[in-house]
Each structure stands twice: as C-alpha cells, then as structure tokens.
Structure 1
Amino acid sequence: MKEVELEGILDFLRGAEQLKNTLRSSRTSSGRHESTAEHTWRLCLMILLFESQYPDIDILRLIKICVIHDLGEAISGDIAAVDQVEGMDKGVEERKGLELLIRPLPKILQEEILILWDDYENASSEEALLAKAFDKIETVLQHTQGRNSSDFNYGFNLSYGRRYTNHDDITSRLRALIDKDTKALAEGNNTI
C-alpha cells in the first residue's frame, strides 16, 4: 500500500471518529445520550451472538453492513425517527455525508463502502434485511434500558421498525420480548 493511501485511511479514520461524538436521541441507563458509535458497537455484538442461527448468511458481509450503516452520520448527524417528517429522505443526507467522509480513501475502498451502504439503504440482500431488523431491535432495546424523559413515547417504540423486525422467527420473538418490556414501562412499571 502506498504512503498516500495510508494517509488517506488515517484521514478517513479521523473523520469517522466523529461517530463517537454524534449523539442519538436514545439515552443510556445512566441517562446520557447514546452515541452512534455505541449503537453500532452493540448492533455488531448482537450479530455475533446470533451468528449460529443464520448459517446461510454471509456474516462478514452482515457485520460490514452494520459497521458502515450509520457512517454518514459522522457528517450529517443523526435524525431521530420521531423527528423525521413526511417527505424527508434521511438516506439522501446520510449518503452525502458518507461520500464526503470516504473521499480520502482509495477508490476501491470507497466503492466497497458505498456498495455496502446502498445494499443496507435499499434492503436489497438478505444480509441487509437482517441488518435492518437488528438495527431496529437494538434501538428499541436501548429505549427500554435508557433513563428516558417522563414524556418518552413508548407507543412509538411499539411500532418503530416493525416491518423489519418481523423479518423472521428470531427477530420477531426478540421484538416480542422487548415489546413486553416496553408495555411495562409505558404502564409505569420501571422494574424491568
């Protein structure tokens, strides 16, 4: 690898570090806002835990999709699902941010990242569909663990991402368990 390519990779990594500072609307159990990097980490951890349940899935591709799915937020920031309005295409802004972020990388790496991101965005492979399912599951799980504000909308949590979380038996069952916790929290039972 040429020196200029190494420098480009370092520049990219410096830019990607912003995901540690990109805050989501979700709260951690200590009450602070969760970062996009933290969300991505636990999403990847979830995939590793369920790897044996998906013997026909290309797990490396799935993890790659999960690692890059929110990279554009390092530039564009996160737009919470509850803040998205009709006609808004969050993906357009995220892709613009991603294109800017990956500019220092060698072309072959840029292309690989964009292919993976486009696959996720369009849910065009089994790996992308599973990434979307677990992405939504990680989010609703965090909503049941976070120290949320008193006006947190648990009703939204119950409907969020359902078309993806109903992907298969495993993701549907996980979602049902989390929904049970969400309903308890909505009823004011904070002992989950």
Structure 2
Amino acid sequence: MTDAELHGCLDFIRQTEKLKDVLRNSYTASGRHESTAEHSWRLALMAMVFGPDLGQVDLLRVLKLCLIHDLGEAIGGDVPAIHQTGGPDKAAQERADLITLLEPLDAARRADFLALWDEYEAAATPEARLVKALDKMETIIQHNQGTTAPDFDHGFNLDYGRRYADGHPLLARLRRLVDADTRARMAEAAPPPRRTGSDG
C-alpha cells in the first residue's frame, strides 16, 4: 500500500463516522433512536451467529455485504421502509452517495466496495439474499424489542422482506419466530375490546 492509499483509507474511515449519527425510525429498548451504524453492526453479528448453519455460503463475503449495505446512508440518511414507495429512487440516491463516500479510496477498493453494494442491492448471489433476509429481520427484531410510537404499523412487518427468508430453511424458521414476536407486539398495542350490554 502506498502512502497515498494509506491516507485515502484513513480519510474514508473518518468520513464513515457520519453513519454513527444517522438515525433510523427504530428505537432501542431504552427509548433512544437507533443509528444506522448500530443496525449494521447487529446485522453483521446475526450473520456471525447464524453463519455456521447457513449452508454453503462465503461467510466473509456475507459479513462484507452486511457492512456495506447501508453505507451510502452516511450522506443521504435513512428512509424508513414504509415510506420508500412512490418517492424518488432510494437505491439510485444511495448508490450515488456511496460513490461520493468512496472517493478517497484507490480505484481497486472503490470498485470492490461498489460491486459489493450492487450485489446486495440486486440480491444477485446466495450471500446477498441471505443478507437481505437478515437485514429485514434485524429491523423487525428492533421494532419488536424497542419502543414504538402508538400509531406504529407492526402489521407492515409481517410481509416486509419475507421473500428473502422463505427460500432458506433456517431463515424461514427464524422468520416464523420473529413474526410471532410481531404478532405479540400487535396484540399488546391493540385497544381493549369495547364492552357491550349492561354493566349490571
């Protein structure tokens, strides 16, 4: 590695610190906003936990995809999944932001990181589809574990990203457990039934 490449890598690392300040629509169990960096960290941890049972996949590649998948949000911020329809193309903007963020790196690293992001976005490999499935489940787990607004739509989570988990036996089982937690949260949030008739 040349001195210029070393300085470029260090500058890139400094710029990615912005991801720590990008707040998501999720809250932690203590009631504070979760950051995108925290989401990416726990997604990578999930991949590490379940990795030995995910079958014939490249676990190192899975972990790289976990770390890169939301990196563009360091510039443009997070758009909650429920608000991603009907607006500007979130993926195109996030990709453009990632390209900006990658500028300090040498050409080979820029190409490698962007290729990983493209692979994830297109769900083009078994590794990318696994990360997509875990990404959606980590988000739902946080919604179930953390505090939510009174009007939060937990029902949206029952279909969110399901298609990525359904094709993998372990992830389908995990998704059923996560969905059971979602239904429990929905039941907790439901208003009590109205009483009818005489209270005698």
Q: If the length of structure 2 is used for normalisation, what is the TM-score?
A: 0.91
Q: Corresponding residue for 1:26?
A: 26
Runs of 4+ in 1 over 6 A off after TM superposition: none
Q: 1:81 and 2:114 equivalent?
A: no
Give 2:81's aligned amino acid: A
Q: Hey, what's the Cα distance between the residues in 1 that align with 2:148 and 2:181?
A: 14
Once the 2 structures are TM-superposed, how far is the Cα of residue 52 of structure 1 from its aligned partner? 1.2
Q: Percent identity?
A: 51
SS, match of residue 127 in structure 2: helix
Secondary structure of the structure 2 residue equivalent to 1:186:
helix
Separation (CA, whole Å) in 2 of partners of 1:75 and 1:118:
18
| 1:186 and 2:186 are equivalent in the alignment | yes
AA aligned to 2:42 is: R
User: Which residue of structure 2 lines up, in the alignment, with residue 115 of structure 1?
Assistant: 115
> Unpaired runs of 5+ in structure 2?
191-200
- Match of 2:97? 97
Partner of 1:188, secondary structure, is helix
Moved more, 162-171 or 122-131: 162-171
Q: Would the alpha carbon gap of residues 21 and 66 (structure 1) be closer, same or farther in structure 2, given more than 3 Å must change?
A: same
Offset at residue 176 of structure 1 (A): 0.8
Q: Cα offset for 1:40? A: 0.5
Report SS of the residue matched to 2:109: helix
- 1:167 deviates by 3.0
- RMSD, aligned CA: 1.4
Q: Secondary structure at the match of 2:188?
A: coil
Please state how far the C-alpha of 1:189 moved relative to its aligned partner.
6.6
Question: What TM-score does the superposition give when structure 1 sets the normalisation length?
Answer: 0.95
Q: Give the conservation status (yes or no) of the 8 Å contact 1:136–1:165.
A: no
- Counterpart amino acid of 1:89? D
Larger gyration radius, structure 1 or structure 2: 2
Matches of 1:99 and 1:69, distance apart in 2: 13
Q: How many angstroms does 1:87 deviate by?
A: 5.6
Please list the CA deviations of residues 15-70 of structure 1 after superposition, one character each: whole Å capped at 9, or x if unmatched.
11111001110111011111000000000001111111124100001110111000
CA distance in 2 between partners of 1:92 and 1:132 (Å): 17
- Equivalence for 1:15: 15
Give 1:1-192 correspondences, 5 Å limit: 1-86=1-86, 88-188=88-188
Q: CA deviation at 1:83?
A: 1.2
User: Taking structure 1 as reference, are residues 88 and 167 closer, same or farther at Cα in structure 2, changes over 3 Å only?
Assistant: farther
TM-aligned CA distance change 1:189 to 1:151, over 3 Å: closer
SS at match of 1:25: strand
Q: Deviations over 1:83-139 (max 9, x none)?
A: 112264211011001000000001110010011010000011110011101101111
